[in-house]
Structure 1
Amino acid sequence: MFSIEERWSNWAGTFTTPKAMIYEPASIEEVSLLIKQVTQKQQTIRAMGARHSFSGVAKPDDVGVSLTRMRGLIQLDKLKQEATFWAGTHLYEIGPLLEEHGYGLANMGDIDVQSLAGATSTGTHGTGITLGSLSSQVTRWGLVDGEGNYREVTREDPLAQSLHIGLGLFGIVVQITIKVVPVYGLAYESSRITVQDTLAQFQSIIETNRHAEWYYFPGQSQMQLKVMNAVPYEQLERQPTKPFDNFIENQVLQGMSSLCKRMPQTTSLVSKISAKAVPIGARQDVSYRIFASPRQVKFAECEYAMPLHYFEAFLEELHFTMSRELFHVHFPIECRTQKGEAGILSPTQQQDSAFFAFHMYKGMPYKRYFRYMDHLLQKYGGRAHFGKMNRYTQCELKKQYSDIDIFLTHQQQCDPNSVFMTEYMRKILI
C-alpha cells in the first residue's frame, strides 16, 4: 500500500495540517488492515475524498486515506437501473462511464472534481425543485467500519438515515450503488434578469424548468439566470463549451479577483462590470457536460439551505444588505433549489428548499462576511452545508437537527473506538 508523509491542505486552502500520513489502499482488505493498525496505535483516520470540501470535514489529524486507486464502474444493473462504483471514482469519470452503457445521473452539481464518496457523504447537490442531492440517489453503501469489518447498508436499514450524509464518521466507504436514468441531453440557456423580475417570476421559473439557478452580483440589480431542460439523447445537437466562455469564467475572473485582492475598494466596480457582462446564449450537450463548469479560480465558500417559501424574502433582504456595500466582495452569490429529502443531517429536513452560496476569493478576508450571513440566515431557518464553511457547534446541531442523537448512536455502533472522530468532528458533534 502506497504511503507518504506530507503537509495536507484542501483545495481552497481553508484547512491545512502540517504533517499527516497519507495512504492509498488498492483493495477493501488493505482498507481494513489500515483501520485496524490505526486503532492499535490509538490514532484517528480520515477519508479525504478529493479534498474539495471547504470545511474541515476531510482534514486528517493522524492518518488520511485517498481512494484514488479504488476507482471505476464495478457493475451496472439495467433491470434495477443501478450502478455500483468504487467510491474513489471522481464525478467527472462517472458521466462518460455511464454514457457508454446508455445511462446517466439524474442530477449533478456544477463542480465535478469531487470523489463519489466525498460528494455523497456531504450532501453535494445541483439544482431543480423536483430533484434531490447526490446523496438521495444512493441505494447502497459498502463500507469498512471502525473495527475493520466490511458491511453493506441498503436504504431499508435504519442506519441509512444516518449514512445519507454520513460525513465519513461510520467507516471508510469503498463502494457506492447509485440510481441511474436513461442517458439524456440538456438544453442550457443563460440570460439576464433583474432582481425584481426574479422576485416576481421565481415560482413560475422553477416550475417550468427542470433546473434553474441564479447568480446575484453583490449590490447590483441585474442577475444571471441559467436554466436547463431535458432533451432526448437521440435528438441532441451537441454544442461544446466555447473557449471564450471558459476564458471569461476563469482567466478574466482570476484577473479581476487579483485586482480586488490588491485594491478592495474596486469590488463594487468589478461586481457592476460582471453583472453587465453576463453572457447570453444557449447550447446543448449530454447532461454531464452541461451540469459541470471548470472552476480554476480558488475561493472560500459557505452555503445555506432554507425552506423554499423564504426565497423571495431573503433575496430581497440580501439585495438591500449588499447594496449598502458592507463587505468588499465581488464574487456572485449562487441561488439554487432542491427537493426536500430524508436523512438525519440533510439541511433540507424533508422540506423543498432554496440554497444560497456565498464566496470570497482566496486570500481575501471572508470571516466577517460569512459570519454576517450566518446570522442573517438564522431567521429564515438557514442550515449550513456540511462540506462548506460553517459555524456548527454541538448546541447548534441539536437545535437544527432533531434526530442528531440517533445519528450519534449509530456512529458509536459503527465506530466504538472513535477512530473516525477527528478533532474537527469532535468540535462539531461532541
Structure 2
Amino acid sequence: MFSLKTLQTKKHWSNWAETAQGQFEEFFTPRSVEELQAIVGKAFKDGKRIRIIGASHSFSPIALPEEICISLHEMRGMDSVDKERGEATFWGGTYLYEIGPLLKEHGLALENMGDIQEQTIAGAVSTGTHGTGITLGSISSQVIEWEWIDGMGEYHIHRRVDQDDSLANCLHVSLGLFGILVRVTLKLLPLYSLKVKTFRATIEEGMSSWKEDLHQFRHLEWFWFPGTKLIQVKQMDAIPPVPQKKWEKTISTISKNVVDNQAFYLLSEICKRNPRRTQWVSEFSAKNIPNRIETGYSYELFATPRKVKFYESEIAIPIERFLECMEELLAGLKDNPFFVHFPIECRFVKDEPGFLNPNFQQDSAFLAFHMYKGMPYEAYFEWIWGVMEKYNGRPHWGKMNNLSKEKIQKLYPKWNNFQEKRQEYDPKGIFLNKYFRELIH
C-alpha cells in the first residue's frame, strides 16, 4: 500500500506497478463530507484539478493527480446495514478486504469479488473491477445507490431505478469523472461459502469442456501458460456458510505465499536476468500446477495474494468468440516469441448496462495479459492489442491499454451520452487529468 506520509511530504504519487507517476501540489485526507465539499468547492473556484487515488492499484494513469491529490483513507467502514432488505452502505475509502468480515457479522456477503482485494470500494466500482462467473456481473453491478460530490462541491444521491436508468448507467463505471464517490449502497446475498477446486488440464481438454463448465459452475477461471498446452483450471461453487478450517487455511496460506509468490518471484528474477529462460520457467510452472480443494467463506477464497509485481493489460471480447481468439493466441505464442512466463488469465462475466463497462450489453470473456515488472512488455502488449482488436476487444480502464478518442467512439456506443451527463456534474472538468483530457478533447 502507498504511504500517506510520503504523499504528504514528497508530493509524489506512483501506482502499484510504477507505470504511472508524477508530482502534485496539494494532498488531503478528509474525514467528513463537509471537509471534502470544502476542498472541492475551493478547487472549483481556483480552477484546480482533482484526482482521488483510491488504493493506487490501477495500471493505467486514470488516478494520476496533477494539482490536488485526495485519499479517502480516513473515510472508511460500514455506514449502515439493512439485513432484511439485504443492503449495506459503505464509505468510499473502505478497502475490499475490510468488507467481507464486516458483512459476515450481519450474515451477509458480496455476490462476487475479483482476485485482488487491496482496492477501495469506490475505486473498484468506478473502474468496473470484476471477478468471474457468467451469471454474475462486476462489483459495479452490485451497487444500487451512489452518493457523490460533483465538480462544484454539490452533494448528490441517486438510487438505481431499472436497467434503462441513464444516470445509473453513467455512474455504473464513472472512472471518477462525475465526482468523488463518497458512499455506495450494495445489494447483498445471505452469507455463503465457496468450494474451490484447482487442477491442471491440457488446453484441448479445457476448450472441449469449456461451454459445459461455464454453466455448470458458479465461477470458472483459467490460467494458461504461454508456450505450453497446459492450463490451471479453477472451478468454484457456492455452499452453505462454513469458515475455512484452521489447518486448511494454514496449508493454503503457506502454499500461496511461499510457492505461488516467493518461488514465482525467484523464477521471475531468473527470467528478468536471462529472458531465454522464460520458456523453461513457463513449462516448469505449468507442470507444477497444484491440485487443491478448499472451502471457506466467500471472502476468504475469492482473493489471492499478489506480491510479485507485474504489468497488466486486460481486454474483454464477446464470449462467443473466446475459442476462436484462444486458437489465434495459441498459434501466435506457440514458440513464446515475447519471452513471457506469466500466465494469461481468462475469466467470464455477464453483460451489464453500464455505458463504459467493457462488458456493456455483451456476455464477455476477459483475458488478462501480464509481464513481470522490469521486463520489456511493449512488443508483447502491442501484439496483444492488435490481436484483440480483431475481436472488438474493449480494454479494462484500470489496466494498460492503447485507447484513443477514435477507438472509444467505436467501442462504446453510449460514450457521447456519458460525456453529456458528465459535463452537467463537472462543467469545468476539474476531475479530468491529462489521460482523460487526451481521450475526451
TM-score by length of 2: 0.95
Structure 1 unpaired stretches of 5+: none
CA contact 1:5–1:22 (8 Å) conserved in 2: no
Aligned residues: 430
Opposite residue 231 of structure 2, the aligned amino acid is M
CA contact 1:5–1:19 (8 Å) conserved in 2: no
Question: Which digits, 9 at most, give the CA deviation of each residue in 1:200-251, with x for residues without a partner?
Answer: 1100111111001000001101110011111101597673124133211110
Aligned-residue offset at 1:314: 1.0
Question: Which digits, 9 at most, give the CA deviation of each residue in 1:306-338, with x for residues without a partner?
Answer: 111111111111111111322011100000000
CA contact 1:360–1:366 (8 Å) conserved in 2: yes
Q: Take 1:268 and 1:94, find their aligned partners in 2: how far apart are those partners?
A: 39
- What percent of counterpart residues are identical? 44
Aligned-residue offset at 1:136: 0.5
Opposite residue 294 of structure 2, the aligned amino acid is R
Q: Take 2:28 and 2:9, find their aligned partners in 1: how far apart are those partners?
A: 7
Question: Which digits, 9 at most, give the CA deviation of each residue in 1:286-313, with x for residues without a partner?
Answer: 0011000111111110001011111111
1:421 corresponds to which residue?
A: 432
Q: Take 1:391 and 1:398, find their aligned partners in 2: how far apart are those partners?
A: 14
Tell me if 1:271 matches 2:282. yes
Opposite residue 175 of structure 1, the aligned amino acid is R
Q: Take 1:93 and 1:4, find their aligned partners in 2: how far apart are those partners?
A: 27
1:212 corresponds to which residue?
A: 220
1:295 corresponds to which residue?
A: 306
Q: Please point out which of 153, 165, 176 is paired with 1:168.
A: 176
1:27 corresponds to which residue?
A: 32
2:44 corresponds to which residue?
A: 39
CA contact 2:256–2:305 (8 Å) conserved in 1: no
Secondary structure of the structure 2 residue equivalent to 1:337: strand
Q: Please say which of residues 109-118 and 364-373 is displaced more in the overlay.
A: 364-373
Structure 2 unpaired stretches of 5+: none
Opposite residue 222 of structure 1, the aligned amino acid is L
Secondary structure of the structure 1 residue equivalent to 2:397: coil
Change (3 A) 1:12 1:236: closer
CA contact 1:135–1:165 (8 Å) conserved in 2: yes
CA contact 1:125–1:134 (8 Å) conserved in 2: yes
2:210 corresponds to which residue?
A: 202
Question: Which digits, 9 at most, give the CA deviation of each residue in 1:6-45, with x for residues without a partner?
Answer: 2110001000003442210001111111111222221100
2:269 corresponds to which residue?
A: 258
In the TM superposition, structure 1's runs of 4+ consecutive aligned residues that sit over 6 Å from their partners are none
Question: Which digits, 9 at most, give the CA deviation of each residue in 1:116-140, with x for residues without a partner?
Answer: 0000000000000000000000001
Q: Please point out which of 59, 63, 67 is paired with 1:58.
A: 63
2:166 corresponds to which residue?
A: 158
Opposite residue 8 of structure 1, the aligned amino acid is W
Tell me if 1:343 matches 2:354. yes
CA contact 2:115–2:303 (8 Å) conserved in 1: yes
Question: Which digits, 9 at most, give the CA deviation of each residue in 1:172-227, with x for residues without a partner?
Answer: 00101011100000001111111111111100111111001000001101110011
How do 1:30-429 residues align onto structure 2 when only pairs under 5 Å count? 30-156=35-161, 158-233=166-241, 239-240=248-249, 241-429=252-440
Q: Take 1:325 and 1:296, find their aligned partners in 2: how far apart are those partners?
A: 24
CA RMSD of aligned residues (A): 1.5
Question: Which digits, 9 at most, give the CA deviation of each residue in 1:231-284, with x for residues without a partner?
Answer: 101597673124133211110111111111111111111000000010111010
TM-score by length of 1: 0.97
CA contact 2:243–2:297 (8 Å) conserved in 1: no
CA contact 1:195–1:222 (8 Å) conserved in 2: yes
